[in-house]
Amino acid sequence: MHRRVVTRRGFLKGASALLAAALPGQHLLAQSTAMRRLDWNTFRNTRDYGSLVDGISRMRENTNASDKRSWAYWTNIHLNSCPHGIAYFLAWHRGYLYYFEQQLRAVSGNKSLVLPYWDYYTTPEMPGEFTNPSPFNPLYLARQNTNVIDALTLAPFASTVTNMQRGLANPFEVLIEDQPHNPVHNIIGTTMATLQSPTDPIFWLHHANIDRLWSAWQQAGGGRTTPPADSTYWAGTFTYANRLAMQRSRTIDTRNQLSYYYQNETMPTSLPAAQVAQAGDGGFVLASMRQGDSPLQLAQLGPRPSGAAPRLLLRPAIAELAASPSRQISGNRLAVGGVLRIPLNENSLSVQLQLDQTSADLLQRTLSTAAPQAASPYRSARVVLDSVRISGSGDIGGYFYHLYLNLPSSTDVSSATAYRIGSVGPFEIDAAAHRVHMRQDPGGSEPGTVALTFALSRQLSELVAADPRNITLSFVRVSGNSAPGGEVIRVGEARLELSTDTPQ
Ligand SMILES: [Cu+2]
């Protein structure tokens, strides 16, 4: 079975260019010949499956981390230079996977080997080949969980998500990193919940899937826009290691620039069917208007069938915690109210952000579109979790928290995403600690901690401005089947800030 195919689109393009430019045909055909990355469920039945297992086995056995044929060499590239939570998350990983795939080909001796992907939107349970704990199985690594159904969302594929890059309104790159990318790392846990995650073989199938979803989004039309090749956005180079670099502009189009494409390049349109609810789990509880329904995890609920009763997400109870004062954080950031020392454990909780009258007035002048903008030096609002650290057994993962602002006391789950500002778990904390280490981020106010920032959408800013004396922040816990209890994360301060930055 060979998968070196010439696509019709690629062939026609090549043929017309040939006629137009009268260049040697072989060269053009070589450029339009692309390799197809397969879904694991297809890949596992090809002869390449053996090459993949053999290649990974050889690389894991090679313990010389300075040798590019070793497993640790590739983990160290990720550890030393991956951008998480900053620009080029998608493009950097596209080039990283491309070079890793070439290395796998070289080590396995199979020139047509391609990286397969794990489509968890179709099969949320990790493929069994990766979970067999035999010491002779090179695809296995200890993990907290193997089912990622609670990590999934359709939010990045909504028709309103038309910008690719961080910094523009509603950016695809930020949304897909936030969910499903980060929660998949967190729920699987153990090594996957850290920047050492490429040590786990499932990492490569997870990131091939994220890359595939980006490809699908790029081709979906509907006004979805990637910066054009001549944009300054693509200027520059990713340096992965010594003599291993890629021009950013080469990562725009997989088929024509990197000569690969995916078996399925369409965006998911539904979530996997709901599974049997876990009784007594520590996750958030969904109430139903009908009696007798079991509580279900939020992500397990697909679109509600017409005529069915709405399924409700209840806002977690408000914890009474000490308030933090309004104060100037820097020349362009003002804290308008917050709370101190939030312990995050197996339960969900909400906190109330207390604003004094002066801060409330300023917030209203800044964020309300009805108010004159000139009356405030600030332009946007954000939630900052400061002095965040892992505590207890939190570093093993298996869990994460959705963050909501001003969640109503109960809301239909399909409406809850309007209040969501992001998520936090051990992977986000480890990635932020790495940015501090790389001096890309100053870190948290307390030494050895991190700070996480969540920009508010225009809609949420309006909502907050409408009632600035009554702002709640909810941490909604999502636990995999295996997840640590007790305090796992400590947030030193959660606060609302006004900033001079452009609104999202
Ligand atoms: Cu990742």
**How far apart are the C-alpha atoms of 210 and 344, rounded to whole Å?**
29
Interval 400-428 mean pLDDT: 91
Identify the CA nearest to 129 among candidates 141, 112, 119.
141
pLDDT at 348: 94
Q: CA 67, CA 50: separation in Å to the nearest integer?
A: 23
- Res 131: pLDDT: 97
Distance from Cα 197 to the centre of ligand 1, integer Å: 7
Residue-range domains of the chain with CATH: 48-262 (1.10.1280.10), 323-499 (2.60.120)
Average pLDDT over residues 318-338: 94
Task: Give, as one character, the DSSP assignment of residue 400.
Answer: E
Distance 89 CA to ligand 1 centre (A): 9
For residue 344, how far is its CA from the centre of ligand 1 (angstroms)? 23
Q: What is the pLDDT of residue 376?
A: 85
Q: How confident is the model at residue 410 (pLDDT cuts 50, 70, 90)?
A: confident
Q: Which of 288 and 189 is assigned the larger pLDDT?
A: 189
Q: Among residues of the chain, what percentage have pLDDT more than 90?
A: 72
Distance 195 CA to ligand 1 centre (A): 8
- Interval between CA 443 and ligand 1 midpoint (Å): 21
Distance 184 CA to ligand 1 centre (A): 8
Cα(92) to centroid of ligand 1, in Å? 11
Residue 254 has pLDDT above 90, yes or no: yes
DSSP 122: T
Peptide bond into 116 cis (omega under 30): no
CA 198 to ligand 1 center in whole angstroms: 8
Say how many Å lie between the CA of residue 382 and the centre of ligand 1: 24
Dist. CA 473 → ligand 1 center (Å): 27
What's the predicted TM-score (pTM) here?
Answer: 0.87
Residue 54 in this model has a pLDDT that exceeds 70: yes
Percent of the chain with pLDDT over 70: 85
pLDDT at position 268, please?
97
Tell me the pLDDT tens digit for each residue of 356-375. 999 999 999 998 876 555 57
CA of 97 to the centre of ligand 1 (A): 11
Phi, psi of 496 (to 5 degrees): -95, 135
Task: Tell me the residue ranges of DSSP E strands in 231-379.
Answer: 237-241, 244-247, 260-262, 286-288, 311-314, 323-324, 327-330, 333-344, 349-353
What is the Å distance from ligand 1's center to 426 Cα?
A: 12
Burial bucket for residue 228 (CB in 10 Å: 0-12, 13-18, 19+) = exposed
The pLDDT assigned to 372 comes to 56
* Helix residue ranges, H only, 177-310: 182-188, 202-218, 254-257
The CA 22 to ligand 1 mean position distance, Å, reads 44
Q: Collapsing DSSP states into helix, strand and coil, what is residue 430?
A: helix
- Ligand 1 centre from 397 Cα, in Å? 14
Q: From ligand 1's centre to the CA of 207, what distance in Å?
A: 6
* Nearest of 214, 288, 200, 205 to residue 252 by alpha carbon: 214
- Amino acid sitting at position 368: S
Between the CA of 179 and the centroid of ligand 1 the distance, in Å, is 11
Residues 184-236 pLDDT 10s: 999 999 999 999 999 999 999 999 999 999 999 999 999 999 999 999 999 99
Residue 286 Cα to ligand 1 midpoint, Å, equals 29
User: 410 CA to middle of ligand 1, Å?
Assistant: 33
How far, in Å, CA of 60 to CA of 108, rounded?
Answer: 12
For 479-488, write each residue's pLDDT tens digit.
999 999 999 9
C-alpha of residue 182 to centroid of ligand 1, in Å: 7
Q: At what angle do helices 202-218 and 89-108 cross, to 10 degrees?
A: 130
pLDDT tens digits along 87-116? 899 999 999 999 999 999 999 999 999 999
Mean pLDDT rounded to a whole number for the chain: 86
- pLDDT for 286 beyond 80: no
In DSSP terms, 246 is beta-bridged to: 238
Centroid of ligand 1 to alpha carbon of 265 (angstroms): 20
Q: Is 186 helix (H, G, I), strand (E, B) or coil?
A: helix
Taking the centre of ligand 1 as the mean of its atom positions, its distance from the CA of residue 181, in whole angstroms, is 6
pLDDT tens per residue, range 121-180: 999 999 999 999 999 999 999 999 999 998 999 999 999 999 999 988 889 999 999 999
pLDDT of residue 323: 96
Question: How many whole angstroms from 5 Cα to the centroid of ligand 1?
Answer: 29
Measured in Å, residue 175 CA sits from the centre of ligand 1 at 13
Nearest C-alpha neighbor of 428 from the set 199, 179, 155:
179
**Given pLDDT bands bounded at 50, 70 and 90, which one contains residue 281?**
very low
- Residue 292 is predicted with a pLDDT of 36
List, in sequence order, every residue forming a beta bridge with 247; answer none if it has no partner: 237
pLDDT in tens, 442-458: 899 999 999 999 999 88
| CA of 185 relative to ligand 1 center, distance in Å | 7
Q: How far is the CA of 208 from the centre of ligand 1 (A)?
A: 10
